[in-house]
Each structure stands twice: as C-alpha cells, then as structure tokens.
Chains A and B, each alone.
Chain A
C-alpha cells in the first residue's frame, strides 16, 4: 500500500507541477489580460487539485485528507471569484474590448 501510495504521490504531484508550469507559461506568453487570467486560473486550480490528490495517500488520517480537499475547494472558490473580479475590472477600465 505504501509503495503504491508513493507512486500515486509522485505521479500526481509531478502532474500538478507541470500544470502550474503551464499556467505560468500562459501568464508570460498570452497577449492580454483575459487570456492570461484564463490560463492562470484554470491551470493553477487543476495543478493544485493534482497536488492535493497526490498528498492524499500520505495523509495521516481521513480527517487530514478531508482537510486537504477542503483546502483545494477553498482555493477553487477564491481563484474563480478573484479572476472574475479582475476580468470585470479589466473590461471596465477599457484595457480589453
């Protein structure tokens, strides 16, 4: 069990790191605010989900695992809301059509 758990951890956390990297590449390469927000929010949240998934086998108990998942859900909520607000204010300030 612990060996399989370690394999899942390594694969998932690596996938999460790859998605974070992809999000950062999007932030640097995309031309304007809205596309950058899209790349950043989607990729970072998915990356965080993979990292949490990878940490679940290492959690000491069911309660710790539930805490990890609730962290991911809170980050999901905050990320989605903040990206909406930034996009709205970017459109209102006229920097996008």
Chain B
C-alpha cells in the first residue's frame, strides 16, 4: 500500500467525517461551516482524480461562493432554530433508504466494467478542430457547446427567478441592504487592495484555460467574488435590477453564444459548427462574453432579491 493510497484513505475518511458532522450537528450555522470545509476538501479529491479544472470549479463555486450564500442565509435565519425532529419511524425509514442507496452505488462502483469505456481518444482525435490544448475546454466550448450555452440560459433563468421575488415597491430596485463599513477600516482596505489583483487573476484564469486548467467559469467566480467584496465593504452599491447596461451584460454570454451558433447554421454545416480557421478566435470571443455574464450573474445571485426601491 503506497503512501499515496494512505493519503487518499485519510482524505476520504476526513471528508466522510465532515459530511456526517454536517448532517448530524445541532446548529445550522455549524452545519454550514462544515459544508464549506467539506467542499474545499472535495476539491482536493478532484485533484487526486486528475481533474484539475473541476477542482478549481468546486473550490471557487462549490466551496467559495456556495459557502458565502449558505453562511449569509444561516446568519439571517438564526432565529428559526427549531428543536423538533422527525419521528422515529421517518428517521428509521430514511436511514434504511439511504443505506440501501449507498450500498447499491458502492456495488455499482465495484462492478464497473473493465476495460473502462472512454471518450478521451475521441476528444484527442478531434482536438485539431479547435487548436486548443485543454481537452476540457474543447469539450465545454466545442464538442458539447450546446450544453454550455443552455447552462448560460439556466443561469439567466435563476437570476430572473431571484429578481422576481422582489416586493412591489422594490421592483427593479437594488438588491440587498446598503453595506456600510468604516472607510478607514480593515475591510475597506482589503476591498481596495485585493480587487485589482483579483481581476487580473480572474482574467488570467480565463486566458490560460485555452491550454491549461482554467476557463470561463473559474475566472468568472473569481471576478464575482471581487465585486462582492467591493459591495460588502460599502465602496460600491449593488446595481439596480432595472439598469439597462447590467441587463445587457447578463445576456451578453448566452446571446453571443447563440449568435455564433446560428452563424454556424447559416455559414457552416450545423448549429454551433466553428469554421476551423476561425475556431480559436470565435471560442475566445464567446468565452470573454461568458466571463462577464458569469461574473455578473454569480454576484447578483448572491446579492439576492431587490429590497430597496429605485425611488429613494
């Protein structure tokens, strides 16, 4: 048993222990903290599985932004801690069902076919169509581009859903309270110092996603967190939901993707077909629009429903 295997067993044990603690602990706030730690350790598991792009996404979106939205909700819902639990019968039934599901999945894992079916050779064989070196970016933007475009639409639907929860007075207004922080304090200092570096890092992650692990989602998450930091320090206010430039940014990603797809239909062979000569510039152009849309959408999803009306 090599050292790597021992490390993996320890990592898996810690992750499962954290998952169990998250489910079993009494306070909701502690469960949230446990879940954030769980997400960050799971991204270590992704690195061990040689899926670095997924590890970046899990750390940035699953652990980072997901943790922020859950912590914010747990803080606002502190008054609703309840001590009622489900009846013994429900808990017993749930335990049996969960154990059966986990056992079935474990058996399926142990009985997976050998040799394993894989699409990696197909991805390599067709990589010349886009001249990008990162195979995951190839799959996301070219081979399964339809999925990514529809995912942008899902993000748009989520933000429409969140905004539709505004009350009548606050319709089209600014999400969240106006944050006030001491302008000479530590948070304002961080919000002035970190965002320039963070923006460069976010754009770099997008740019390097063409050939190395990275991409629009991970870079967009970093940009979104920089914007949120500036908002939370009170250096900028959340934009109004009815602002036209904001709405243009939100539809830029899926819109450009759709236009490129229709262009492929008109001038090429199929929907979302890239001409080989222009594949890389087209993909990078779509990714830049996607970066802006993802950053704006993720930040606004965290800001919540509009609470302050525009007439103020």
Contacts and interface: CB of A to CB of B under 8 A. Distances in A.
Interface stretch (A4-12, A36-44, A77-85): A77-85
A93 B197 CA distance: 33
Contact of B193 (A77, A84, A85, A88): A77
B197 A81 contact: no
A74 interface: yes
B190 interface: yes
A85 B197 contact: no
Contacts of B189: 81
- Max chain B CB contacts within 10 Å: which of A77, A81, A88? A81
Nearest to B194: A77
B186 A85 contact: yes
B187 interface: yes
Nearest to B182: A88
Interface string B181-209: 00000110110011001000000000000
Contacts, number: 15
Contacts of A77: 190, 193-194
Interface residues of A, number: 7
Contacts of B193: 77
B163 to A, nearest CB: 30
A78 B187 CA distance: 10
Interface in A44-97: 74, 77-78, 81, 84-85, 88
A81 B232 CA distance: 14
A77 B190 CA distance: 8
A78 B189 CA distance: 11
A73 to B, nearest CB: 9
A15 to B, nearest CB: 19
Contact of B197 (A74, A84, A88): A74
Contacts of A81: 186-187, 189-190
A84 B181 CA distance: 14
B292 to A, nearest CB: 23
Contacts of A74: 194, 197
A88 B182 CA distance: 12
A94 B203 CA distance: 42
A81 B181 CA distance: 14
Contacts of B187: 81, 85
A85 B232 CA distance: 13
B218 to A, nearest CB: 15
Nearest to A88: B186
The 9 closest A-B pairs by CB, nearest first: A81-B190, A84-B186, A81-B186, A85-B186, A85-B187, A77-B194, A77-B193, A77-B190, A74-B197
15 contacts: A74-B194, A74-B197, A77-B190, A77-B193, A77-B194, A78-B190, A78-B194, A81-B186, A81-B187, A81-B189, A81-B190, A84-B186, A85-B186, A85-B187, A88-B186
